[in-house]
Amino acid sequence: MCPSNGSKFQAAKAYARASSFLTAAKQKVRKRFGKPEPESLLYGFDGTTTLNLVTTFPLYAPLTSGRYDDKAETTIQTINRLIPLLSDFAKAQSDKHLDIIDIREFPVSSTDLQYAEELKMLFDKYGSDKANSHNYHMLYGPLLKDRDQIASLLEIGVGTNNVDVLSNMGTGGKPGASLRAFRDFLTNAEIYGADIDERILFEEERIKTYYLDQTDSRSFDHLGKRIPSELDLIIDDGLHSPNANINTVLFGLQRIRIGGWLVVEDIAPNAIPVWELVAALLPANYTPHILTASGFVREKAGTFSLNDHAMAIFAAQRYE
Ligand SMILES: C[S@@+](CC[C@H](N)C(=O)[O-])C[C@H]1O[C@@H](n2cnc3c(N)ncnc32)[C@H](O)[C@@H]1O
């Protein structure tokens, strides 16, 4: 974070402390969901930036004559429409069929549900929000049911409680929460974590964590030298921006073993076309899924509620 953003953040924090409205809203969220909400969830939505859109977004700006305002408007339109249009184009060419289903429909047997529940208890125990905010245990339980056979898992996003990092868990967050849950669930597996925040990296029984900036493909090259060449499951729970996610996908396609899975968490519903496009472009030996899941929806400043379809998750299995 740059110093000006840092001071803005401090100012916002001071305002939040002083504001009884925000404090009441925070308490309401805490009371409803039984755990401290990520403090940073309350910020980062309001604000404006002055930019020249035509020179800042040359990929999207029309290469044409005309007034700046008209070009800026067309640039915004292109930013918002290009990926959905490419997604429609790719789907029309692809013979892969992709249904979008509710994550709660993913388990197909009582064993699937039993494993999902077991994993939920571990996520809750260690302080990961994967189950209580998102129902992701409904995917991971079934997907990891051959638990004794699973040898290695990589998760991008160890979980920082430093609020100067994007995608932090808030000051009450527990770094390594989901890694510990997976370690306890998968008794034969080595668990690898990667994160941009070096302050929270750690090593303990069957868990190793490494530095990674997932927006930089070279950083994946460094990580790749430190972890096994084949992985059973790669999870992206890091920055949650599409370009960083695509780097994970490109890395994952080189590393997932036959039968293994690649999962991208916390996809905004508006970004689903990105994942329909990725699904259409995936190699033929991968089966893609898009599942809707629950998450927080911002109702107005400082107020959030849980909604069953506020998020989506992308999962692809390599089958040969
Ligand atoms: C929501 S937290 C992960 C939570 C954890 N997986 C859990 O469930 O307990 C997201 C993490 O992504 C990390 N992150 C943010 N930007 C990143 C980047 N460019 N590369 C790698 N990690 C990043 C943050 O430091 C943070 O620790």
Q: List pLDDT tens digits, range 200-220.
A: 999 999 999 999 999 999 999
**Residue 174 and residue 126 in contact, taking contact as beta carbons nearer than 8 Å:** yes
Q: Is 318 in the pocket of ligand 1 (CB under 6 A)?
A: no
HSE on the CB side for 25, CA within 13 Å? 20
Residue located nearest, by CA, to atom 27 of ligand 1? 159
- Among the residues of 175-320, which ranges form H helices? 177-185, 217-224, 242-255, 272-281
Q: In this predicted structure, what is the pLDDT of residue 297? A: 85
Dist. CA 277–CA 288, nearest whole Å: 11
Instruction: Provide the 3-class DSSP secondary structure of residue 123.
Output: helix
For residue 95, give Cα distances in angstroms to 84, 99, 249, 289, 291. Answer: 18, 13, 21, 14, 20
Residue 196 near ligand 1, beta carbon < 6 Å: yes
Query: Does 130 contact ligand 1 (Cβ within 6 A)?
Result: yes
Q: Per residue in 40-64, pLDDT tens?
A: 555 677 788 999 999 999 999 999 9
Counting Cβ atoms within 10 Å, is residue 102 exposed (0-12), middle (13-18) or buried (19+)?
middle
* 239, 240, 241, 263, best to mutate for ligand 1 pocket (most atoms within 8 Å of CB): 239
Q: Is the pTM of this model over 0.85?
A: yes
The CA distance from 71 to 64, in Å, is: 8
User: pLDDT at position 47, please?
Assistant: 83
**Cβ-proximal residues to 221 (8 Å cutoff; 6+ apart), any chain:** none
Q: Is 236 near ligand 1, meaning CB less than 6 Å away?
A: no
Measured CA to CA, the distance from residue 101 to residue 104 in angstroms comes to 8
Beta strand 190-195 with 256-267: parallel, antiparallel or unpaired? unpaired
- Closest residue CA from atom 4 of ligand 1: 159
Q: Is residue 120 within 6 Å of ligand 1 at its C-beta? A: no
Instruction: Please report, in tens digits, the pLDDT of each residue of the chain (320 residues total).
Output: 333 444 443 443 343 333 333 434 444 444 444 444 445 555 677 788 999 999 999 999 999 999 999 999 999 999 999 999 999 999 999 887 798 999 999 999 999 999 999 999 999 999 999 999 999 999 999 999 999 999 999 999 999 999 999 999 999 999 999 999 999 999 999 999 999 999 999 999 999 999 999 999 999 999 999 999 999 999 999 999 999 999 999 999 999 999 999 999 999 999 999 999 999 999 999 999 999 999 988 877 778 888 889 999 999 999 99
State the burial class of residue 239 (Cβ atoms within 10 Å of its Cβ: 0-12, 13-18, 19+).
Answer: buried
Using a 6 Å cutoff on CB, does residue 213 contact ligand 1? yes
Q: Separation of 16 CA from ligand 1 center, angstroms?
A: 24
Place of tokens 């388990």: 107
Query: Quick one: DSSP state of residue 171?
Result: T
CATH number for region 98-318: 3.40.50.150
